[in-house]
């Protein structure tokens, strides 16, 4: 006897509904998102409840509405106006797209759906009534433009799901949370939420972020926030975060992230924001954050989770770093410049380092152009040692104050002492440790896509065959190609540009300089390779870059000396300065 059978339509629709509709708040989410997608300016949400639970949910909008036929079609599974071809999935800009919500909701409740198409010659509206997936009526009625959906008897035919509903206050708090999130990320629409006929909250659709935050959480709360905005790499960021020194919470409440207008949860993005605060965030405390993140929609996959709250980013690492930099910059500008300062974010940060150097700001502005190129180069160099994520460290990471002579980082350490860090020596320590960790392992080298020819001097060519093993341990594979020409086939993993002939000459010079055991020669090779691949002196760094460098440094085993044994860091304690100023 066959035991496998294809499920009937009703069972299928209940399964689909189970994925989309978990609780009353899911219904509210789907209906309100439909209103937003329908270009509504005004969205009114009504919730009624008694002792038995939530009894009625209504959402009314003034959006584009639908005609007679579409109003019914919209309740078919996989019926949507938002996409039509597989390619459309790669660039979704609406909140809905699967065409599942209305069908799912209608399968497990009693729905009254009234809609009138905007700007249509037909003066009539349409009403569709469906109970548990069964069409009760489909008729023309009189109603204003827009759409009104009433949901009653939610889960009446799915007792298991009904049993999982929590108390009315709990379910309500989920509804409020959902509506707040959608209202905060759709600020052009005005939202009103009523509970048992009483208004619970309202936004005004002014388009302004602070207005929306103030409407939801009160204006005194919104005053504790500071602006984050700008373009950082592939990402545009706009929003507000807790100003340092304001009250913070011990849990992550008031944390709102929207990616391309869609509310999402992302532990990684939360992490990036907290990292951006660095030492400004007291231990165990959480800032509030309201951030709109705009990315090329093709970089975002929203089709990974039934409720679409989780997303996948194709350039996650870059996005994380951009968010972190944005937060970092916002917080550090705040402390030095008045909020009225009109200069765009990036310029301001760089002006800050110029001021510490003591240059007049104007003269600096002229030089700004010239500074862009080294910043990019520095970014590449820093990323070489950074890996996928900024390294974890238990050590306190000093807080960057600025840069001086484009060569030293000024920072404040754990006990508040002023420290001066040699940026080159610091990065050398980081790079050397990583090269050493990989040396002699199978992972020391990475093959160059295009082998790099190097023309050697007679002396180099003569010595090279004896050095091949040491070089291979460091990650360099060289092969003879002609009499004095050799091909560089692989270079150490952490650095992709070390195939540069000039670097090869320097490496050979280091290897040939004096005698020594194999280990000593390897050490000299690694030090030279490290030195060539890292951030140099006389190079301007942004505050974010300096902070990342210090974090990388603190994650090394001996952060205070460079591989050559020179110090990376000098501490100017308060008492030492007092002594220098002859204060007693």
Asked whether position 96 contacts Mg ion by CB under 5 A, the answer is: yes
In the chain, the largest separation of any two C-alpha atoms, in whole Å, equals 99
Asked whether position 492 contacts ligand ADP by CB under 6 A, the answer is: no
| Residue 35 binding result from Mg ion, ligand ADP, none, given CB thresholds of 5 to 8 Å by partner type | ligand ADP
Contact at 8 Å (CB) between 237 and 228? yes
Q: How far is the CB of 45 from ligand ADP (least distance, A)?
A: 12
Contacts 24+ apart (CB under 8 A), 84-87: none
E-only strand ranges, 279-383 = 289-294, 300-301, 312-313
Give the Cα separation of 124 and 115 in Å (integer).
Answer: 9
Please select the residue that binds ligand ADP; options are 64, 179, 401, 511, rule is CB under 6 A: 64
- Measured CA to CA in angstroms, residue 124 lies from 35, 69, 571 at distances of 20, 13, 79
**Which CB, 118 or 368, lies closer to ligand ADP?**
118
E-only strand ranges, 63-106 = none
**Which CB, 65 or 276, lies closer to ligand ADP?**
65
| Residue 492 binding result from ligand ADP, Mg ion, none, given CB thresholds of 5 to 8 Å by partner type | none
Asked whether position 65 contacts ligand ADP by CB under 6 A, the answer is: yes
**Which CB, 64 or 525, lies closer to ligand ADP?**
64
Asked whether position 66 contacts ligand ADP by CB under 6 A, the answer is: yes
User: Which of 13-21, 29-37, 137-145, 261-269 is the region at the interface with ligand ADP (rule: CB under 6 A)?
Assistant: 29-37
Binding mask 73-102 for ligand ADP (x = CB under 6 A): -x----xxxx-------------xxxxxxx
Asked whether position 34 contacts Mg ion by CB under 5 A, the answer is: yes
Q: How far is the CB of 63 from Mg ion (least distance, A)?
A: 12
Please select the residue that binds ligand ADP; options are 14, 21, 25, 34, rule is CB under 6 A: 34
Write the burial class of residue 384 (CB in 10 Å: 0-12 exposed, 13-18 middle, 19+ buried). Answer: buried
**Which CB, 118 or 161, lies closer to ligand ADP?**
118
CB closest to ligand ADP, residue no: 96
Range list of H helices, 21-120: 24-37, 68-73, 101-107
Asked whether position 63 contacts Mg ion by CB under 5 A, the answer is: no
Give the Cα separation of 133 and 309 in Å (integer).
Answer: 26
Instruction: State the number of binding residues for Mg ion (CB under 5 A).
Output: 3
Give the Cα separation of 421 and 386 in Å (integer).
Answer: 18
Q: How far is the CB of 299 from ligand ADP (least distance, A)?
A: 21
Beta bridge partners of 128: 113, 138
Q: How far is the CB of 275 from Mg ion (least distance, A)?
A: 35
- Measured CA to CA in angstroms, residue 255 lies from 240, 280, 488, 540 at distances of 10, 18, 50, 34
User: Which of 95-103, 214-222, 452-460, 477-485 is the region at the interface with Mg ion (rule: CB under 5 A)?
Assistant: 95-103
- Measured CA to CA in angstroms, residue 516 lies from 20, 467, 480, 528 at distances of 69, 12, 25, 16
Asked whether position 101 contacts Mg ion by CB under 5 A, the answer is: yes
| Residue 74 binding result from ligand ADP, Mg ion, none, given CB thresholds of 5 to 8 Å by partner type | ligand ADP
User: Which of 29-37, 214-222, 313-321, 389-397 is the region at the interface with Mg ion (rule: CB under 5 A)?
Assistant: 29-37
Give the Cα separation of 33 and 257 in Å (integer).
Answer: 16
| Residue 62 binding result from ligand ADP, Mg ion, none, given CB thresholds of 5 to 8 Å by partner type | none
Write the burial class of residue 8 (CB in 10 Å: 0-12 exposed, 13-18 middle, 19+ buried). Answer: exposed
**Which CB, 75 or 408, lies closer to ligand ADP?**
75
Q: If we measure between CA atoms, which residue out of 119, 326, 117, 111 comes closest to residue 239?
A: 326
| Residue 147 binding result from Mg ion, ligand ADP, none, given CB thresholds of 5 to 8 Å by partner type | ligand ADP
Q: How far is the CB of 145 from ligand ADP (least distance, A)?
A: 10
What backbone torsions phi and psi does residue 565 show, to the nearest 5 degrees? 90, 0
| Residue 61 binding result from ligand ADP, Mg ion, none, given CB thresholds of 5 to 8 Å by partner type | ligand ADP
CB closest to Mg ion, residue no: 96
Pairing of strands 399-404, 312-313: unpaired
Residues that bind ligand ADP (CB under 6 A): 30, 34-35, 37-38, 61, 63-66, 74, 79-82, 96-103, 147
Residues that bind Mg ion (CB under 5 A): 34, 96, 101
């Amino acid at each position: 006897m066959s035991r496998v059978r294809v499920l009937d339509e009703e069972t299928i629709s209940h399964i689909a509904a189970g994925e989309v509709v978990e609780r009353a708040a899911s219904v509210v989410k789907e209906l309100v998102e439909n209103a937003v997608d329908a270009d509504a300016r005004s969205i009114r949400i009504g919730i009624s409840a008694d002792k038995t639970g939530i009894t009625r949910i209504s959402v009314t909008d003034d959006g584009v509405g639908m005609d007679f036929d579409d109003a019914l079609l919209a309740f078919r599974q996989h019926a949507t106006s938002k996409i039509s071809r597989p390619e459309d999935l790669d660039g979704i800009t609406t909140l809905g797209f699967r065409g599942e919500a209305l069908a799912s909701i209608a399968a497990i409740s009693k729905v009254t759906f009234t809609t009138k198409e905007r700007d249509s010659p037909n003066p009539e509206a349409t009403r569709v009534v469906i109970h548990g997936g069964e069409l009760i009526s489909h008729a023309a009625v009189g109603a204003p433009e827009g759409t009104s959906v009433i949901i009653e008897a939610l889960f009446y035919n799915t007792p298991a799901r009904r049993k999982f509903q929590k108390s009315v206050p709990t379910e309500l708090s989920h509804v409020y949370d959902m509506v707040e999130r959608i209202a905060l990320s759709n600020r052009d629409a005005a939202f009103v939420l009523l509970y048992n006929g009483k208004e619970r909250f309202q936004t005004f659709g002014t388009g302004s972020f602070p207005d929306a935050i103030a409407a939801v959480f009160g204006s005194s709360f919104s005053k504790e926030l500071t602006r984050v905005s700008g373009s950082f790499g592939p990402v545009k960021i706009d929003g507000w975060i807790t100003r340092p020194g304001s009250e913070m919470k011990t849990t992550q409440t008031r944390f709102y992230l929207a990616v391309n207008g869609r509310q999402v949860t992302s532990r990684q993005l939360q992490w990036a924001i907290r990292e951006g605060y660095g030492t400004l965030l007291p231990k165990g405390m959480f800032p509030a954050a309201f951030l709109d993140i705009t990315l090329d929609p093709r970089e975002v996959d929203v089709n990974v989770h039934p409720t679409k709250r989780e997303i996948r980013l194709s350039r996650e690492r870059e996005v994380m770093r951009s968010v972190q930099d944005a937060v970092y910059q916002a917080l550090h500008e705040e402390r030095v410049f008045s909020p009225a300062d009109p200069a765009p974010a990036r310029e301001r940060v760089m002006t800050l380092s110029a001021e510490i150097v003591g240059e007049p700001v104007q003269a600096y502005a002229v030089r700004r152009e010239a500074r862009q190129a080294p910043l990019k180069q520095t970014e590449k160099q820093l990323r070489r040692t950074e890996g996928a994520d900024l390294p974890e460290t238990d050590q306190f990471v000093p807080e960057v104050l600025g840069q001086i002579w484009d060569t030293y980082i000024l920072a404040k350490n754990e006990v508040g002492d002023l420290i001066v860090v040699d940026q080159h020596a610091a990065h050398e320590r980081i790079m050397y440790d990583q090269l050493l960790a990989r040396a002699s392992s199978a992972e020391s080298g990475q093959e160059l896509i295009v082998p790099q020819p190097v023309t050697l001097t007679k002396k180099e060519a003569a010595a090279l065959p004896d050095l091949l093993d040491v070089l291979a341990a460091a990650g360099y594979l060289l092969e003879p190609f002609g009499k004095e020409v050799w091909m560089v086939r692989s270079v150490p993993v952490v650095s992709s540009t070390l195939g540069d002939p000039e670097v090869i000459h320097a490496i050979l010079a280091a290897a040939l300089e004096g005698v020594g055991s194999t280990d000593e020669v390897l050490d000299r090779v690694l030090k030279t390779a490290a030195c060539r691949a890292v951030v140099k002196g006389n190079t301007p760094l942004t505050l974010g870059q300096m902070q990342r460098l210090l974090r990388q440094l603190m994650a090394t085993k001996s952060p205070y000396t460079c591989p050559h044994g020179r110090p990376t860091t000098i501490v100017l304690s308060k008492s030492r300065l007092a002594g220098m100023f002859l204060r007693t």
